[in-house]
Amino acid sequence: MATDGPDRTAPDVRGDARKGEADAWGAFGLVVSGVLVWGGVGWFVSDRLDNRLPLLVGLLVGMFAGLYLVWFRYGRA
Amino acid sequence: MTGNVNMVGYGLAAIGPGIGIGLIFAAYISGVARQPEARGVLQSIAILGFALAEALAIIGIGLAFAL
Amino acid sequence: MDTSVLAEGFVSPGPGDFEYSPLFGEGTFFTKPMLIIVLGTLLVAVFFYLAARRATRVPGKLQFAGESAYGFVRNSIALDSIGKEGMRYVPYLATLFFFIAVLNVAGIVPVLQFPATSRIAIPLFLAVISCIIFNSIGIKRQGFVGYFKAMMFPPGIPWPVYILLAPIEFFSTVIVRPVTLCLRLTFNMFAGHLVLLLFILGGEYLLRDYGGPVGVVAGSVSLLGSIVLTFFEGFVQLLQAYVFTLLSALYIGGALLDEH
């Protein structure tokens, strides 16, 4: 390697920590997105039907979908 | 003073996930300190636990606004 | 205890303290945050220009300082989180880091004493630039369809579930990422500045207007606390500049090698 930077082929513990930080924010973003997207759809439907149930269903579905995505992206070894 | 009791409720509800996230990462740190080679496995478990606890806090604020 | 006596006459700092009127009288548009942006940009530009002008093999003091600063972003942000391909993005990341760092640290520089990044427009604009960059890198690298397919339809999920999951993936990558980048920086700076204001103005009020033994003791504690908090705030300001740059770099790295 011609550049004078440190050797990037050696395993780097700090690099692992970086990945952990990105994964933690990614997990947070997925759960937030799930609740926002499907909660938002539920809110819209609730607003139209004048009934609170769709909102509740949307929030819960979004939460579980977000959690499933977190498991899918980060949880499987 | 004006305000919404829902928000007080949410404040109380956020204590639980806050403590939970603290405990999860405390356990993760001591696990990595004992067995640094297990970092990869512990990390994905820690992030799953973090997401679960975080989901409670987020669903809490959703319900505080909604109900 | 009657707290209304304590509160009387003291106007606690609030969001109104982040609104500045124009520096050169009514009708002009140039405010203090804008002055800080101009000064900060000049400082960064002049520093790196002087450090890089007449670069020699044996660096002088200024060249050494410039190379260390640039090398920090290159090694511990770009190369660590993107890999070898990160070299291409070091100029952007270094600009981002030093611009944010200088605007943040303006919050504890005497006379200026305002973190320009606590006005949401600046972090928002930077976050949108980062968002455009990592999305266009991903589109360029994997093709428009390929990028969004890899983002929204990861293989290994039964197809009806995609209806549920694809909007979440899209939303989290294209909207939540820049919004969290922006809000994390803005509210850290906002809250830090507010706490410093509260300690300093409160200490001043207790010492000068409230008076008495209680006022002197509480005011002194408050002002001494503000000194400690100033150092802590300086640490937070540099850390937040680092976090913003690091997450931008990680998003670029993710767009480069998305093999989901």
pLDDT beyond 80 at B66: no
Angle between helices A53-70 and B39-66 (to 10 degrees): 170
Give which of A19, A23, A30 to mutate to test C binding, by max C Cβ within 10 Å. A30
- pLDDT given for residue B20 in this prediction: 93
* DSSP per-residue letters across A13-67: HHHHHHHHHHHHHHHHHHHHHHHHHHHHHHHHHHHHHT-SHHHHHHHHHHHHHHH
- Does C231 lie at the interface with A, CB-CB under 8 angstroms? no
Give the minimum alpha-carbon distance from C153 to chain A in angstroms, rounded to a whole number. Answer: 11
Task: Give contacts of B63 with chain A, Cβ < 8 Å.
Answer: 56, 59
Indicate yes or no: CB of A67 within 8 angstroms of CB of B41: no
Query: Do A44 and A4 contact (CB within 8 A), yes or no?
Result: no
Polymer length of chain B: 67
**Using the beta-carbon criterion (under 8 Å), do A33 and C168 form an inter-chain contact?**
yes
DSSP assignment of C169-216: HHHIIIIIHHHHHHHHHHHHHHHHHHHHHHHHHHHHHIIIII-HHHHH
Per cent of chain A over pLDDT 70 is 75
Mean pLDDT of chain A, nearest integer: 79
Model confidence pLDDT, tens digit, residues A41-62? 999 999 999 888 898 899 999 9
Domain ranges in chain A are: 26-75
Residue C152 has which token pair? 């929204």
The predicted structure's pLDDT at residue B47: 87
Whether residue A11 has pLDDT greater than 60:
no
Q: Identify the pLDDT of residue A13.
A: 46
A19 has pLDDT over 50: yes
The shortest CB-CB distance from C172 to any of A12, A15, A29 is to A29
Please judge whether B59 and A63 are an interchain contact, meaning their C-beta atoms are less than 8 angstroms apart.
Answer: yes
Decide if pLDDT at A16 tops 70: no
Please give the Cα distance from A75 to A14 (Å, whole number).
21
Cα–Cα distance, C150 to C188 (Å, whole number) = 33
Q: Which two tokens stand for residue C20?
A: 């500045």
User: pLDDT tens digits for B8-55?
Assistant: 888 898 899 999 999 999 999 999 999 988 888 888 888 888 888 888
pLDDT at position C7 is 53
Instruction: Check residue A9 and give its pLDDT.
Output: 45
ipTM of the complex: 0.77
C60 φ, ψ (degrees, to nearest 5): -80, -175
Residue A8 is predicted with a pLDDT of: 45
Structural domain harbouring C218: 3-256
Which pTM does this prediction carry? 0.84
- As a whole number of angstroms, the distance between CA C178 and CA C169 comes to 14
Q: Which mean pLDDT values do the consecutive 10-residue runs of chain C (260 residues) have?
A: 55 83 80 92 93 80 89 89 87 94 93 90 95 92 87 84 90 92 93 92 88 88 94 94 92 76
* Counted domains in chain C: 1
In this prediction, what percent of chain C has a pLDDT beyond 70?
Answer: 96
Question: CB-based contact (8 Å) between B38 and chain A?
Answer: no
Select the residue of A18, A30, A68 nearest C172 (Cβ to Cβ).
A30
pLDDT at B18: 92
The confidence band for A77, taking pLDDT boundaries of 50, 70 and 90, is low
